Amino acid sequence: DSEGHGPLSAALGIAKASPVAGFTQHALDYAEGSGESALRLKLDLPIDDIDKSQVDGRVSLKGNDLRLSADSPPLGQARGDISFSHTGFAVHDVRVQLLGGVAQVSGGMHHKPGEPVPDVVVRAHGVATAEGLRGMTDWAPLPALAQHASGSAAYDAVIAFRASQPDVQVTSDLRGMAWDLPAPLKKTADTVWPLRYVTRALPDERNEFSLRVGDALALNYERDARSTPARVLRGALALGD
């Protein structure tokens, strides 16, 4: 057993190199973190049967910045615990700064009976501000819409990993956020507009994006992530009913 303090990046490196990486579909392979964290670690390494190695650890976040992948939103000032073992990992109600407000994040590896590969799902519930959305440059066209927005709104987000690539879904009723745009996109703060934003990883390093905002806006497009900057391959846009 060991216990100590050190860079969060080093703690993530231990998790990536341990058997937990395979059990979680390498969901943490692209995770990055900064700042100091506390690590408790227990290793069982049988010399005669190294394939049966076991690891049990816990990382305590002390206001760290964390990003699970390049395509997932940054989690700022994270405080709470992440545990990991040879069978998976769990995020224990970590409080973070996300989309301009405070959010509660939980989840980890969820194994469905009868399925050989477990799901890795992280969920967040919080409040997004117009300023926070303006900073999400990878979530087009939300940053452009947020340039004309004010206020804040509650949301739920789900990040699910498939082969280390995240699928992201964000839903909100947008109550509390106003949009100063021409019709049909003009919205008062007390109006409820169901929003659903989804990004999904596709084969050959492609991504599919969709955004629906009530009956006012529907957008779908596919992007080639191999290009720099990423290249839009196809898409469709609808305004109004």
Average pLDDT for the chain = 83
- pLDDT score, position 134: 92
pLDDT at 187: 95
Counting beta carbons within 10 angstroms of the beta carbon of residue 22, is it exposed (0 to 12), middle (13 to 18) or buried (19 or more)?
A: exposed
Name beta bridge partners: 98.
101
Q: Which of 43-57, 58-72, 130-144, 167-181 has the highest mean pLDDT?
A: 167-181
- Residue 224, pLDDT score: 86
Which residues lie closer than 8 Å to 145 by C-beta, 6 or more apart? 133, 179, 181, 185
Average the pLDDT over 191-205 and give the result.
90
What global pTM score does this model have?
0.81
pLDDT at 129 over 80: yes
pLDDT, residue 67, reads 85
Residues 96-127 have pLDDT tens digits of 999 999 999 999 876 555 666 557 888 999 99
Residue 43, pLDDT > 90, answer no
Checking if the pLDDT of 194 tops 90, the result is: yes
Q: Is the CB of residue 94 less than 8 Å from the CB of residue 107? A: no
The average pLDDT across 17-25 equals: 63
Tell me how far CA of residue 232 lies from CA of 8, 58, 71, 166, 208, in angstroms.
35, 41, 16, 19, 10
Confidence of residue 158 (pLDDT cuts 50, 70, 90): very high
- Percentage, residues of the chain above pLDDT 90: 39
Residue 19 has pLDDT above 70, yes or no: no
More confident residue, 229 or 224: 224
